[in-house]
Amino acid sequence: MTLSGKHAVVTGGARGIGAAITRVLTARGVHVTVLSRMPQMLDVPCDTVSADVADPEAVAQAFRLASERSGPIHILVNNAGQAASAPFLKTSAELWRQMMDVNVDGVFHCTQAALPGMLEARWGRIVNVASTAGLTGYAYVSAYCAAKHAVIGLTRALALELASKGITVNAVCPGYTAGDMTQQTIANIVAKTGCSAEQAVAALVEHNPQKRLIEPDEVANAVAWLCLPESQALTGQAIAVAGGEIM
């Protein structure tokens, strides 16, 4: 069950879930290129390219550089994303646009950059890191929910378009996952309610039957599984990695 010799681009692959994905794919023999606005050193061998995923010209240039350095791109993990919360009537046009720019447009631009090479090879794996917010609704994050629902819609449409071409397209949908993004959510809850951090975590995992935060490696392992040659029959799926919260 190896991916030795494959080349993957992981967006946002230097932190949090992205860094876990980079490590897990590297352990399976993949050569990983991390695409990030501010590339950081990781404790595994990988290349880095710099780009804002919301900038189509920068994305195209970064993918060209990645291919020149490390060969054709076989795997794309669209992991880069942002989250922000606000009541709907306090959701500004700027906040709405920010959520769409990174979470949806970024997936669009990176997929368009990677797909021609996959079509030429008639083999590829595209995995979009969405969220349980793409499968259900959460109060006070309407822009984020809308963006992640859009990612899942794109995943399903593209999976059908590419089904006969040796390319699979899937999404993984983490619940609240230990890391920077969730820590910021916890800090916001504490600041707004005056509760303790422990109480904030308990509120976040209330609907998770396992009553815990998801670990980044658990998401990364799901991504790696979808990339395996043996996973060819899996396409168009949105897989919740959420301890049973979404069924």
Closest CA to 104 of 152, 45, 67: 152
| Tens-place pLDDT, residues 9-54 | 999 999 999 999 999 999 999 999 999 998 777 889 999 999 999 9
The Cα–Cα gap between 240 and 247 comes to 8
Q: Is the pLDDT of residue 74 over 80?
A: yes
pLDDT at residue 192, as a whole number: 86
Contacts of 81 (CB under 8 A, 6+ apart): 12, 102, 103, 106, 129, 131
DSSP string, 128-142: EE--GGGTS--TTBH
Residue appearing with tokens 């390319």? 167
Give the mean pLDDT of the chain.
95
* Percent residues over pLDDT 70 in the chain: 100
Residue 176 appears among annotated catalytic residues = no
pLDDT at residue 181, as a whole number: 83
- pLDDT-based confidence at residue 1 (cuts at 50, 70, 90): low
| Tens-place pLDDT, residues 160-214 | 999 999 999 999 999 999 988 888 888 888 998 999 999 999 999 999 999 999 9
Amino acid identity, position 83: A
Q: Which residues of 214-239 are buried (b: 16+ CB within 10 A; e: fewer)?
A: bbbebbbbbbbbbbeeebeebbbbbb
* Percent residues over pLDDT 90 in the chain: 89
**pTM summary value:** 0.94
HSE, side-chain direction, 13 A CA sphere, residue 121 = 16
Domains of the chain: 7-177+215-241 (3.40.50.720)
Amino acid identity, position 32: V
